[in-house]
A and B are shown apart, each in its own frame.
Chain A
Amino acid sequence: MTDYSNEEEVQWMLATQKGDQIAFRKIVEKYQHSLMNFFRFMNAKTERECEDLVQETFMKIYLYREKYIPLAKLSTFLFRIARNTGIDYIRKKKEQNVSFLGGYFEEYLLDTSHQNLHDTKEEYSRSDIEKALMRLPDKLRIVIVMSYFEGFKYQEIADILEIPLGTVKSRMSIAMQQLKDFLIKKDFL
C-alpha cells in the first residue's frame, strides 16, 4: 500500500509545475500501482483498459498540474482526478450500452493462482470475498477500495469523493454489512 504521508511528494508536484520531468516521473512511479488497482476494482474490463485509464489520469494530472495547490495532499488531488476519469469512462460505456463492470474482475477471479491462501472453512475465502465485492454498487465499493486497497483514512476518502465524513462512515458501514450478507448467503449473482 502506498504511503501518502510523505510531504516530499508535494515538492515533486511543485517541481512538476515548473517543468521538472524527473519529479513527475517520481509521481508516476509512486502512484501507478495504486491507480492500477483502483481502476482494476472500480472501472476497467481488461488490463489494457486499466492501463489506459491510468495513462489518462496521469495525462490529466500533467495537464492540470497548475491547478494543484500545496494545501491539499497530492494523493487527494490525484485520486480525485482518477475518480473523475473513472466516472467519465463509465458514462461513455453506458452511452455505448456496454456493461462496464466486472469484466476485468471476472478474469481476475477466474485466475485461481492468487486464491489459495485463507481458503479455509473458518475464514471467508478470497474468491468469495472478491465476488461479493463485485456485487456492491459503485458508491459503496469505492469506499472499500479506497480504504482497503489504497490505504486512505476516512477523511481522505471524504476529500477525494467530495462528500461529508459522515457519509463515508455510513457508506462504509452499509458496504461492510452488504459484503457480510453476501458472504453469509453466498449471494454472488
Chain B
Amino acid sequence: MSSATLPTPSTYVSGPVFAPQLRGDVADAVAWLSRRPMFIGAQTASNQSISDSSDTAVALDTEIADNQGGHQIVANQARYYAMQPGWYLAEGICPLNYTGGSGEWSVGVGGNQSGTFGIFYGTSMPNSSGFIPQAMGARLMQMVNTGTYGSGDYIAMYVRQRTAVTQNLLNGTSRFPQLTARWVCANSGTASLPVPSPAAWPSPTAIVTSAFLNAQVRDVIRFLAYPPIMEWAYTSTGQNLASQTAVPAVGTTIGLTTNTVDNYSAFNNSTNTWTAPVSGLYYCYGQVSMGGLSTNVAVAAGLTVTSANYNSGTKTTLWGDARAGTTLFQSSPVTRRRLRLNAGDTIQLAGFQRDSSSTTTNVLGSGNWTSKLITVWEAA
C-alpha cells in the first residue's frame, strides 16, 4: 500500500542543495506519481438484485486493485473512500442480466463530494429482446474530505433499470459490474506550466543553478501533480437536437453551460469549444443525454476534433457508441477516446439522433442526466 503524499516541491534558491531536500522533492514525487491512488472493484461473487426505477449502488465484493485501502469488503461494499485529496476519474460499467425487450438500463457514478451527494448517469439504453444490456458512465469527482474509511467523500457506481420488476445484475466471465477510480489531478496547484521535458544536468564547468532546479524539478513535478483537466456539463433547458438521417462527418455541437472543473480555463462556453492548452495525449469522454421520443430509432455521441493528427487536419467527429434510442425515457450515448493533440487543437461535444418522424428532441440538463465533456491530460 502506498504511503506517499501529494508532492509539493520546494522553490530552490542560490546555495547548496542537500540530500534531504532532493529526497523530499524528487524521491517523494516519484513515489507518489508512480503509484497514484487507484481502485478497481468488481462484483464477481454475487448477483445483486436491482429494484425497478430505483437508484441503486452496486456492491463491489471483489477488490482487483486498491493501493490506498479506500475500500473494504466487510462494510460499505459499494463505496470507495478517497484516502488522498484530489480529482478522481471514476468510470463504471455494468451489465443487467435481462434479455427481455422492455424498459431501459442506465449506469452512472455517484457519491459524496465535500459532503454533498449526487448521481450522474452515463449510458441510458433501451432493453432489446435477446440482448444483454451493458452500460457505462464516467465523471470527474473532487475528493476533499479524505483519509478516513467510512466517512468523508466517496465514489460509487449507481444503476437504474426500468422493466417494471426486479432484475439481477449479470456476473459473467467477460461482462460483470466494475468500478474504477483513479487520481488524476490535485485539488489545487500551478497552472499554465509547460509540458515537462526534463533536461540533462549540466556538465562542468557549467553549474546547476536555482533556475535550472526550479524549471527541471519544481515545475516538472508541479505540472505532473496538476495537469490540465476539464469537465463541463449542460445543466439548463431549451437546447434541442434535430433529427438527422445518417451520422454526419461533423456532428451537431452540444452546448455546455456549467464548469465542473477546468483548471487551465480551456473551455469556451460561447463557442462550446475546448482548446488543448498544451500538447499531449488526452483522455476524452463525451456524453449526450436527450429526451426519449416514441419514434426515435438511433442515437450517437461523438468528439468533434480539429487537429492535424486526425483526418488530415480537417474537422471531423469521432463517433463512439451508436445505438438504438430509448423510446419512452431518456437516451444517453457516450464515447471515450485517448487523443494525441497539439496545443491549440480543439474538441467539441457532438450529438446525433434519428427519429423516424424527423422530430427534434430536447437535450437533457437537469436531474441525474446531463450532457458532458471530459478531458484529462495523461502523457506528454
Q: Do the two chains bind?
A: no
B interface residues with partner A (beta carbon < 8 Å): none
A interface residues with partner B (beta carbon < 8 Å): none
